[in-house]
Structure formats: structure tokens, C-alpha cells
Structure 1
Amino acid sequence: MSLKYRSDIDGLRTLAVMPVLFYHAGMTLFSGGYVGVDIFFVISGYLITSIIVRELDEDRFTISNFYVRRVKRIFPALYFLLAFTFLLSFFTLMPVHFESFGKSVVSTVLFGSNILFWQESGYFDSQAETKPLLHTWSLGVEEQFYIFFPIMLMLIAKYGGKKYVRYALTLFIASFILCVWGTKTHPEAAFYLIPYRTWELMLGALIALKFFPKTEKPLHTNIMSGTGLLLLCISIFYFSHDTSFPGYAALLPCVGTALIIMSEGSFVNRVLSTKPVVWIGLLSYSLYLWHWPLFALRNYWGNIDIPPFYKSNLFLILLTFAFAAFSYYIVEKPLRVKKIENRKLFFRATYAVMFIGCLVGASAIVTNGIPQRIPEEAAKLAYTPNSKFKTKECYELSEDAIKAGKYCSMGDTESKPVFALWGDSHALALSDGLDKFAGDNKASGLFMSNSACPPLLGLAGTDRAKADQCIKSNIAIADEIADNRKVENVVLVCRWMKYTDSPQKLEDFRAALDRTLDKLKHKEVFFVLDNAEADFDVPRELAKDALLKAYIPALASKQPINISAGTYETMNSNLISLLKEYENRTNFHVVPLYQGLCGPDGCITQYDGRALYYDDDHLSVFGADYAVKNGGALLLEMVK
């Protein structure tokens, strides 16, 4: 006996997918549209549990049957999308991004893209907006659920007296507690990883297991579904990327979804059962798969000079529906209803497809994004290697490691160190240029830097999770420098504007600078104003422009891709004004390094066919060398 079809569940899928689509289109009204994924999780938990438990009770459940259905449901549309997106990315992504795309293909095929994207960045980061397969993280969560949950239910049926509720409730409570804790302490892990999300699936499972009392009274079901719809609306329209999520906030969309599922026959559910709403729900999987690659590639090529309509949200939404309809009717639906006669052959074909998918993705990884795909000039601009100091031996050292003297040397390492480079990731970005500069002048220095950690005593960094560690490591660094008589000079490099963009921050900064200068009163301090920041990924835009000039000159930029003149002074006006108070200190020198990159026409972003930036605000290895040579004349004083 098959599970009863509920058209309102397909309608509920519409409430899940459309907010996600509108959110990714950048429609501010749907600022919490990302909660559509949580709606899907509750629905999945409900349906999968209903199917498995019914078949277990009827003694006809098998793992092979379950996975045949899951593969038929998930794989056809997904692999069609992967193939199409790979081809599109092959011709449009720069090497470093195509290499990253290859990793996402492999991880998607192996059901682990949520783990990859957790390691790489946050869902709301600007870089995430250009990753074509970012949205597959939710498939990773569901696929991992499909691996462990059926086995768990089988074991409960065989050895646990079919007390499914007890175990589902335990999982729900444990996962929810973990989620609330993780949202505060490990927010990205809580967003992406299944242990923190299991409770959402278990909420659906508890509905299927009839844990919650059921009512069929119209008044009660209408109140329940109305309340559920209200909770969904609050989540979709009032949440934003600033909402601490998932955590407690995820209760709203999840409980809202649960209330609607339990209100079969209510007015809201009847509306959800109407044909237009159900039709979108039937397309929901394909809509979800196709919408993000199209938006991501639009974001990636956002500055291209084509008619605005073809970059508009309306066009992208229409295109998403077109691709989704084709995928549903031509790929997804026919293969889903096809009867499988030979399961061994079916699974062999599945493994073969997965192997090919991994092979294709790996080809982009092992070749570093296949730079041969694009013109040599574009590949040269796109290539921005990491600093040689970005290693576990040199960067992000702990307080204990610093006290033990486990930091790296720069420049002429045969000489005694005469300077120390202390700062955050901008210091790391500048390190190779300063290393070469010091080596050319037969001087040696020490490298002491931690990401998101300003080189000032008592000032916490931008990463709240490591604020205490930042303050402690800075104390250790300051002590090491102050006690080292050979080190006469200290170079402070940081993304300073992060700590001076409000009156309160400015006061905290002033106090921290005073403490630091007092600690280093016997040293020469070189305070570096490093470089202007762009509002775009510099090597990507330069390489894309070179690509267009080679293939479609009419679409290429007519002007040099520079950063507007005065950008640095404007963004750092508070800091520059404050530093004037320190002009009379004999051991304090302001090094306007940015001036070596900037002129009347703006701040250059490339020189001699090489990008001067690694991204939008960090200098590349080549850019650091160029900046020090052209704007670091004051630094000569410390290596004489």
C-alpha cells in the first residue's frame, strides 16, 4: 500500500522554493527567503519517515528499493545540471574559480558539498555569490540523512521494538541543543553540517510518527495552518543575513511548516492544493537546482556591457522556470517513473556516472583550473599565487608558539633581524614585497601576523570567536619585540578602516595605539597605510576584461579598470585625521604606501600585465613588491 498523495505538500514546496529564488535574486522584500531550505528539510523528514515506517510495518522495506527511488528522484536532474554548469563554467570562469568549481563538483557527487562550503566560506559572504554550486549544500545534508536514517529505522524495527518516536525525539532534542550552541560558537558549521540540522528533519519525522496530537476539526486545523503561514511569513519577510541562524530563529519556519503539514483539509492547505501552486511545487526541485547557477554566473559577469534586461531579476527568473520545466518534463519525470528491471545494472550505471562526475571535477582541480582555456594575457592576470609566508609555520601562530620564538624570518636571513612585521592578513599580503625589499637591502626581519587581528594592544579583531586569542597573541608579540634588542624597527600593517569607522571605534583605536606605542617606546614604529580597496574582485575583473578583449571586444571595458581617485583618503579619513596628532612623535612614522599605487586618475590595479591585488582588498605577491618599491621610501630608514 503506497503512501497517500497530498497535493498540499507539493503546494508547500512552492512556499519553500519561491522565497529562496527571490532571495537569491536580491529582492530585499524576501530578506529571509533562505528559510525555504528549512521548509524543505521538514517536508523531507516527514515524507521519508512516512514511507520507510509504512514499509517496515508491512515488512517490505529494503535498502536497495529505497536507494533506487532516491537515485531516480535526485540524480537525473542533478547530473543534467552538473553537466550543463560544467560546460558553462568551462567557458566563463577564471582558472582559480574553475578549480574551485571542480572541487564543488566532486564534493556534490560524493554527497559532501555542505562540508566543502563550510570549510571555504559563509553562505552570506560576497565571494559565495559567484559559486555556481553553492546551493547544493542542502542536497548534501539531505543525502547524508538518506544514508544514516533508513539504517537507524531498520535497526529500531529489528531490535528496538519499533519505538521509533523515542529515538527520533532523542535525535531532535540533541540536535536542537547542538544547533543553538553551535549558532553562537560555530555559526558556519551550524549552518552547513548535518548534526546541527538533523532536528529539522526529525521534526518532520515526529509528525509522520504521530508524536503530535492530531485534530480534524476545521476550526483547529484552520488556526494551526494560519499560524503556520504567519510563522513562515515572519521568517521570510523579517529575517535577514544579520539574523543569528539557524539557532532558535529556525524554529519559526520549521514549526510553521509542521503546523501546515498537520492541517490537512484546512483553508490554507486547500489553497496550496490549487493547480498553479501545485505545478510550481512539482517543479520545485528543478527550480532549486537551476536558479542559483544562473544567478551566480550573472553575479560573476555583472559588469559586462549588455542590455540591462538580460541581467535583470525578471529575465533570470523566467530563464530559471524555462530550464526547470525542461528539466522536469524531459529529464526528471520520465526517469523517475521508469521501472527498473535489473537493479545490479542500475547501481553499476549509477556508480559509473558518479565516477565520471568525479573525474570531470578532478580535471579542473589537478590542472589548476585549466588556464589553457583562456588567452595567455587573461591567465596571467588571473594568476595570483599565495604568499610564501601563508604556512602553518609562519602564519596564525598561537600565543605559546610566539613565546617559544617559532616565527619566520624575512629578507636576508643570514643577518640578525632589525625589524618586525606585525599585523593581520594585510601584513601577510605585504610580506613578500617587504621580504624582497629587505633582501635587496641586506636586512633581516621577523614575520608576526594573525588574520583579522590588528597589531595594537588590547584591540580585538573582527573575528569574535578568536577575539581573546587575538589579544593574547598580540601581548606575546609585543613582549617579544620589546625584549629583542636587535629589532629596532616595527612595521604595523592592518586593514585599519575596520577599526576606525565609528566614533567609538576611533576612541578604542586611539587608546590601543597609545598602549602599543608606550610598549614600543624604544623602537622606531612604521605605521603603514597600505592600499586602497576595490569594490570588485580585481584579478577576476581584469582577467574577464582581457578575455572579452580577445573574443568579444565590443563588450570589453573602454577605460582602465582602476580604483577611483581619493578612495583611500575617503574610506580612511577618520584614521588619517587622528594620525596627525602623532606627527611630532620622534619614533613614529606614517608610511603612505598606498600613494605608490595611486595617482590623479585613480589607483591602478595592474602593471605590466599582472594584477596588483589578490582579491578586492589584499595586494597580490606582485602587487606587494610593486607597492613597496613605489611607495615605501620611508622604509629605507629601517634597513640602513
Structure 2
Amino acid sequence: MSLLPSRRARSGLTKPTPANHFRQDINGLRALAVVAVTLYHFDVGGLDGGFAGVDVFFVLSGYLMAGIIGTGLQRGDFSVLAFYWARARRILPALLVVCAVVLAVGWLLLAPNDYKTLGRHARQSLAFLSNHLYLKEAGYFDSASQAKWLLHTWSLSVEWQFYLALPLILTLAWKLLPRRGTLVGVHLALFSCSLALCITLTASHPEKAFYLLPARAWEMLLGGLCFLLCSNLGLPATARRLLEAGGLALVGASVFLLDESAAWPGALAPLPTLGTAMVLAARRETSPWCTHGAVQWLGTRSYSLYLWHWPLVAWLFHTGHRQAPLWIAAALLLTLLLGELSYRLVEQPTRRWLGTSRRAFAVAGLAGLMILAGYMAQVVVRAKGFPQRMPADILAMREQALQGTPRNGECLSKGAGCVYGGPDIQAMLIGDSHAASVVTAAQLALPDAGQGIYLRAAPACLPVPGLHIREHPRDNPEDTCNRMRRQLPAELGDAPSRVPLIIVTRTSVYPLGYNGIDQNRKNRPQAYVSSPVDEPSSEWLEAFTRLYIDHACALARQRPVYLVRPIPEMRVDVPDVMSRKMLQGKAPQVTLSRADYEARNGFVWGVQDRAREACGVNILDPLPYLCDEGQCYGGREGQAYYADDNHLNAAGSRLLAPMFAKVFADLSTAQADAPR
């Protein structure tokens, strides 16, 4: 079946409004969208819902694409390949320049791991697959969103995937039934399915709802429905003014009243999208708000402004000026300047040249540049960020920072029980990855060389009966955490009662949610009783407290139990921050205030204190060894104590050896006092 319909127009069709007609109201909506998104990302102007500007862009794209495809199909001259080429001429050149410039800047500014990550992001951005990459990264070991220089390209990837699919679907449907109603029906069916999926996924898998086309397509399809159904409404002037005012009110309410706590996209996303569709349907092309010169200037350059604003946000984050008003003002002005230069020197010239050059030559040239840029990005990845660029002191620091617990793959990732030290087991250490990160400290504290520590740990695993963990499906018996929890009772039962049990976990994560470096992850409790909960309600916290204490006391009836206070979460990737500071000539030190630590972990301290009061469990406190009176240290004097934002490395773990020495001093005392 040919994807190129006959040039002879079909009869009996209502001809829609021409799609290539320039409309100042559409340009005005582009301006509103890019201003909202940009100010939101720079934390300026109280636009807490400025992220909805992306949704406005989606509706506009769907409206324009439905116009181009629908009009072409009804005229009988639509070409899928010509459509793809038109989109490529519009989108690729400016994106290519931004990726190339960011990679060049990264060579000068970024530490090896950061630069390797940037190379991977640039490669996926140029392939229009970055939304899938960022979805995969929105997990346990993710880095701060503002450290991702090309994060904003996720929306371009979603749009490009939509551009690939929509003309194929509509062309095939038109071949079967060449009626305008066919286009409406396809749009409506896909819109309904996508919206339902979006609302469902936002509740269960919000990251997927945010990043993936199937859950976002309804926004663009809404724009398409608006074109197909509302292009020629013939409303009187008063009704059009009211429709436009209502639409602008919905968009404005979304931008000013929503914030990051909203489940997004989900059930609230129809506010800005419906508002945009109302403005489009009103067709008040000469409305005073959109005809102003500044509005039209912003709208015309909205694509370039969008492309350039986020790398500048990342640059502020990288240089430590993210909250500095003067630096933010300078970055905003630079956004406008780069947007203008990109529009004048990249968008306009390449669009003209690619439109007038011989098609085959132009396609080959643009494709060659994209392949070359993608290849260079891949070279950065394969070269691991070119560490040879770095001064020797930074390379030494990063190598030291990544020295962790030996046999981590075997003993943590696979959840196998491991002995560290000699065969004479003096203590059992159980928990999650935090337990694995400090086992060598416990080993160092052992009095004799022939003695050992038995470790049983699994990633993101709280070994408390009655509590289930989000990351570990309950119905998978071979899951690492589930297997450990199932086998632990027998292992504890086989161990002599004199052998103490030390429990180390990232405890606050389970009742409260993550407090790490990923600012996009929804902060939800990671443990639950019967079904996952979205907020740490008082009822949930009481249930957690009861189960935690009951388990600790049940263990304490069998042997000495030691609960370790939460290890400080530094909230930034320590080696990366220290590398940046060293590159910038600043003191390579990373700290967290004691006040922030106490605010984060006060609840868990209270639960552990109640367990001690209930049944005499022992408490081990790492703070005297990692903190002073005012702050906790992630690294100082050129030495990192953490491998990331929350896991101690070998150097950090060694600091806790004196803490564990108390366990063996107590054990020695108990053995000396035991009757002979």
C-alpha cells in the first residue's frame, strides 16, 4: 500500500482552514508557553506550575500537525516523506548546534563521569529517544535533574515520535475510508485511550506517564481534534472573546496555581491543554494580548529559546549559582541572546537552504551531520568521559571515592550471605545496601584476625516482617530482598545466641520516601503493609512504628541487637561535587547541616528510641564519627567519604570502626561475666 495518496482531491469533503496560514494567536501561545517554562526552571516569578508550558506546546504541535496532514489528505497531495523532511528541517539544525555546543562546554567543565553521562544524553537526544533514557534513569541511582544538561530534550523526543506515528496512522486510515470523519474518529479513539492511560499511569507509575508517548499523545491529539472540529465554528465575536478569555484563564491558573506536588500529567493536565484548545478555537488572531511586538518576538523564537534555556539552568547548577539572583538574571538575558542568535543564524538560514537545495543533497548533508554528532557523543561515552583531561589530583580523588566494599556484586546484588574476615563469626550484620557499605568497618573493629562478620544484605531491602517494599514485587519469590527475608529466620536460628545482630538500613526511606539527589522522583514511602501509600500519613507511620518495634524486640529476645542510626544522606553526588569544586579552584568539601539531618531522620530516631525503651535494644550512632556539632561531612581535604549521595565508600566506612568496636567490647564483657 502506497503512503503517497493520489494528487486528485477526493470529492464531497469539507475543506478545512489552510494549515500554513500564520496565526498571531498561535505565536502568542508559544510565547506564553516558553516564558512559563523558562521562568519556572529558573525559579523566577512564582510560576510554580510553569511546567505546564510544555503541555501547551504539545497541544499546539497536535493542532498544526493535524492541519498539515488533514489538509494534505483532503487535497490529495499529502506525502509522508515530505512531512518528515519538513519536520526535520524545522527541528534538527538548532538541536544539533545545541548538542554540539553543550558537548564542547562539557569538555572544558565536566568531570569524567559527568561528561560520559552528557555524551550518552546527547546521543539519545539526537536519536529522539532521550525520553526513554530519562525514564530509565528516574530510579535508585539517579543524579540530580539539574545536572542533566539536555534533560529538556525529552519533550522533543516525545513530539518526534508523535510526528513519526501520526501521518502513517492517518494515511492508512484515509486509504480505507477517505472522509474527514475518519480523521476525527481516529483522533478521538487514540485521544480517549491515551488520556485513560495517562491518568492510570500517573497514579501507579508517574515516571512512565510523564516521559512516554502513549501517555502524552492525548495532548497532541487534543490539538488535532481542535483543528478538525473547531476550525470553522463561525462563533459571534462576543462568544469568541469569552472562549479566548476562558482558555487563557485556564492556562494562567495552571501556571500560577499548580506546583510540583500535583500528580502530573494525570487528571489535572486537561486544565492547560483544554485552555490552549479554547484559545485556538476562538481564533482571535488580532487579540491585543498576542499582537504585541514582544509577544510575537518571543513566539517566533520560542523553539530556540526553549533549546537554550535549560543548558543555562544546568550551568548555574554546575557552577553553584543556582540560587544567586544576579547570576539568574544574567542567564535569562543570555537565554534571550542565544535564542536570537540561534533563530537568526541557525533556524532561518538552514530552513531556507534545506528548502531550496536539491532534496537528496540536503537530506544527505543533514543526515551526515546528525550521524557525525551522534558518533562524537558515542566516542565520549566509550572513552568514559576522557578522564585524561582531568588534573591528577581529581583523578586520584575520584578513584579513591569509588573504592567500596569488596565482593559487593556477590554479597549485595545477589543477596548471598558472605563472611568478611576469619571463620570465627563474632557478629551478624543485616540490612540493605547501607549495611554492605559499612561491613568492612565492622570487620576492622574485630579484636582478632581470625574473627569475622557475617553479612546478609540486599539492595533497598528492609528486613521487617509485615512490611513490603515498592521495588521488590511481593509475588516474586526469587527477588533478592524477598529471598533474603524468607531465609533470614533460619539463619538467625542457627547462629549461637551469644552472637550479636547489627541492623543497618537507610531507614528513613521506607516510611518517608527518598531524600536523595533526584528531584523528579515522587517522594513516596518505599514500604507498605497491604498496598503502597503516596503520603506518610499518621496512620501509616504508626503502623510502621509498630511493626519495626515488634520485629526489633522479637530479635532482642534471641540475642543482643544493635540498631544503627541512619547514616547521613548528603543529597548531592559527593565525588561529582568535589570534582566540580576542584576544577573551579574551590575547597573540595561537601557538608550537610546537623539541622537538615535531624529534620530528615527525627522520626526514625524516635522509633528506635521507643524500641530501646520497649525491650532494651542497643543503639549505635554514626554521627560522632561523620559529623561535628554543626555539620556532617561527605568529604573534605580532597578525600570523599561517599561513593554517591548516600553510600559510604571505603574511606567513609573506616571512620565508623570505633562505633562498631562497642559491639565487640560488649561481647567481650558478656563472655567474661558468663558462668564458667
**TM-score for both structures, normalised by structure 1:** 0.86
Offset, 1:349: 1.9
Give the distance between the partners of 1:239 and 1:584, measured in 2 at CA. 44
2:125 to 81, 85, 108: 108
Q: Please tell me the residue identity of whatever aligns with 1:490.
A: L
Determine the structure 1 residue equivalent to 2:434: 426
Displacement of 1:274:
2.9
In the alignment, structure 1 residue 173 sits paired with structure 2 residue 192: yes
Q: How does 1:22-171 map to 2 (within 5 A)?
A: 22-27=39-44, 29-121=46-138, 127-162=144-179, 163-171=182-190
3-state SS of paired residue (1:265) = coil
Match of 1:411 in 2: 419
Distance in 2 separating the partners of 1:500 and 1:183: 21
Q: 1:266 to 1:75 in 2, by over 3 A?
A: closer
Asked if 1:543 corresponds to 2:588, the answer is no
Distance (whole Å) between structure 2 residues aligned to residue 574 and residue 58 of structure 1: 67
Is residue 598 from structure 1 mapped to residue 619 from structure 2 by the alignment? no
Deviation per residue, 1:277-299 (Å, 9 max, x gap): 11100110001000000011101
1:485 aligns with 2:495: yes
Distance 2:502 2:612 in 1: 16
Partner of 2:528: none
Tell me the equivalent position of 1:496: 507
Aligned length: 615
Which of 352, 359, 370 is equivalent to 1:337? 352
Contact 1:455 1:493 in 2 (8 A): no
The answer to whether the 8 Å contact 2:290/2:296 transfers is yes
**1:526-552, CA deviations, whole angstroms, 9 ceiling, x for partnerless residues?**
211253343543222222222233xxx
TM-fit CA distance, 1:172: 0.4
| Equivalent position of 2:279 in the other structure | 260
Aligned partner (choices 507, 519, 523) of residue 559 of structure 2: 523
Quote the offset at 1:93 in angstroms: 1.7
Give the deviation of 1:233 after TM superposition.
Answer: 1.2
Aligned pair in 2 of structure 1 residues 601, 253: CA closer, same or farther (>3 Å)? closer
Moved more, 525-534 or 77-86: 525-534
Secondary structure at the aligned position of 1:496 is classed as coil
Of 293, 315, 318, the residue aligned with 2:330 is 315
Contact 2:564 2:620 in 1 (8 A): yes
Give the direction of change, closer, same or farther, for the CA distance of 1:473–1:275 in structure 2 (3 Å limit): farther
Aligned partner of 2:220 in structure 1 is: 201
Deviation (angstroms), 1:266: 6.9
Question: Per-residue displacement from partner, 1:559-585 (whole Å, max 9, x unpaired)?
Answer: 954444676567545554664555578
The CA deviation at 1:43 is 0.5
Mapped partners of 1:49, 1:506: distance in 2: 50
Q: CA RMSD in A?
A: 3.5
- Contact 2:429 2:502 (C-alpha < 8 Å) held by counterparts: yes
What SS is found at the alignment partner of 2:501? strand
* 1:371 partnered with 2:376: no
Distance apart, 1:630 and its partner CA: 4.2
Distance 1:579 1:563 in 2: 22
- Give a deviation string over 1:348-381, Cα, whole Å, max 9, x none: 2222222212222112212222222221212333
Task: Give per-residue Cα distances to partners, 1:325-349, cap 9 Å, x unaligned.
Answer: 0000111111112234322222222
1:350 is paired with a residue of what secondary structure?
A: helix
Counterpart residue number, 1:4: 21
Identify if the C-alpha distance between structure 1 residues 564 and 221 changes in structure 2 by more than 3 Å, giving closer, same or farther. closer
Structure 1 residues 274 and 545, CA, compared in 2 at 3 Å: closer, same or farther?
Answer: closer
CA 74–525 in structure 1, closer or farther in 2 if over 3 Å, else same: same
| SS of residue in 2 equivalent to 1:201 | helix
Which amino acid in 1 is paired with 2:36?
P
Question: Residue 30 of structure 1: SS of its match in structure 2?
Answer: coil
The structure 1 residue matched to 2:32, chosen from 7, 10, 15, is 15
Check if 1:296 corresponds to 2:314. yes
| Distance in 1 (alpha carbons) for counterparts of 2:240 and 2:121 | 43
- Structure 1 residues 191 and 600 mapped into 2: Cα distance closer, same or farther (>3 Å)? closer
Distance 1:440 1:566 in 2: 39
Q: Distance in 1 between matches of 2:137 and 2:505?
A: 23
Which range is displaced more, 583-592 or 161-170?
583-592
Residues 266 and 68 of structure 1, relative CA distance in 2, 3 Å threshold: closer
Whole-Å separation in 2 of the counterparts to 1:27 and 1:473: 49
Give the conservation status (yes or no) of the 8 Å contact 2:122–2:150: yes
Q: CA 1:206–1:371 in 2, change beyond 3 Å: closer, same or farther?
A: same
Kept in 2, the 8 Å contact 1:420–1:448? The answer is no
Partner-residue secondary structure (3-state), 1:443: strand
The one-letter code matched in structure 1 to 2:625 is G
Q: 1:81 to 1:409 in 2, by over 3 A?
A: same
Sort the Cα spacing of 1:602 and 1:6 in 2 relative to 1 into closer, same or farther, 3 A.
Answer: closer
SS in 2 for 1:134: coil
Letter in 2 for 1:346: A
1:617 aligns with 2:646: yes
Q: Offset of 1:178 from its aligned partner?
A: 0.6
1:122 & 1:579 partners in 2: Cα distance? 28
Query: Is the Cα contact below 8 Å between 1:563 and 1:603 reproduced in 2?
Result: yes
Query: 1-side partners of 2:383 and 2:143: how far apart?
Result: 26
1: distance between equivalents of 2:660 and 2:47?
48
Secondary structure at the aligned position of 1:590 is classed as strand
